[in-house]
Amino acid sequence: MDIPETAERFVAFFDIMGFKDLVYRNDHKEVQKIMARVCKTVASLEKFRGDVLKNIAPPIMFSDSIIFVSHGNTPEDADDLLLTATYLLCEMLVARVPIKGALAYGLFTADFEKSSFFGRPLVDACLLAEEMHFYGAILHHSVEPHLPPHKEKSDNIALTLRAPVPMKGGPVTHSYADWRHFMKDGQTQESVLEPFYSTVSGSTRRYVDNTIGVYTPVKK
């Protein structure tokens, strides 16, 4: 398949939270152990992508950021990116890696040969993720028209929810990924999120509180 470097496409950006503080507070070997866990989780996506997804490029990872881009702008591309992002979110939370991110759409250049990646949707996703005050992944308004509500019940995409979510300026209504769609047998919302309380204290715990609050009203 001939995939253009520059095209209208979907982009997912994720940020591992507390990474800078992690680097400053721990020796390099400890950081290596944590990043090895992150890399292992990201690597697990290869089998997932190979099994069911055809429209998503390999993950781009640098420092504390992870990026996924679709090959094009079809509904299948949108579905596959949402599936990939939601699967990654679930796997990271299960691995006790605090992470947040956003999905956006627009003209984007992805040149894997030259390691050159840039465009407005990446900026939109980064800025939107910065505003979030919970662990999760939300949809920029540029993506929402490509994933209308009736598609949420489709068997081939991850479920999304729409409700007020905690942002820097207060609650704002957004569509967001329901990572619980990929929980394995024996896993529950509580078993995945409660352990985060043992990793943070003080105001940082608000992220855990907020994350639990985002999903509790729609608990399955």
- pLDDT digits over 11-68, tens only? 999 998 877 766 766 778 877 877 787 788 777 777 666 655 678 888 888 878 999 9
- pLDDT digits over 99-131, tens only? 999 999 999 999 988 889 999 999 999 999 999
Contact residues for 153 (Cβ-Cβ < 8 A; gap 6+): none
| pLDDT attached to residue 219 | 52
Write out the two tokens for 195.
């352990």
> Does the predicted TM-score (pTM) go above 0.85?
yes
- pLDDT digits over 154-210, tens only? 444 447 888 999 999 999 999 999 999 889 989 999 999 999 998 888 888 999 999
CA 97, 54, 16 angle in degrees (round to 5)? 15
Distance from the Cα of residue 21 to its chain's centroid: 21
| pLDDT attached to residue 8 | 96
| pLDDT attached to residue 52 | 58
Contact residues for 167 (Cβ-Cβ < 8 A; gap 6+): 131, 132, 133, 174
Is residue 92 pLDDT above 60, yes or no? yes
Write a three-state SS string for the chain: CCCCCEEEEEEEEEEECCHHHHHHHCCHHHHHHHHHHHHHHHHCHHHHHHHHCCCECCCEEECCEEEEEECCCCHHHHHHHHHHHHHHHHHHHHCCCCEEEEEEEEEEEEECCCCEEEEHHHHHHHHHHHHECCCEEEECCCCHHHCCHHHHHCCCCCCEEEEEEEECCEEEEEEEECHHHHCCCCCCHHHHHHHHHHCCCHHHHHHHHHHHHHHHHHCC
| pLDDT attached to residue 157 | 45
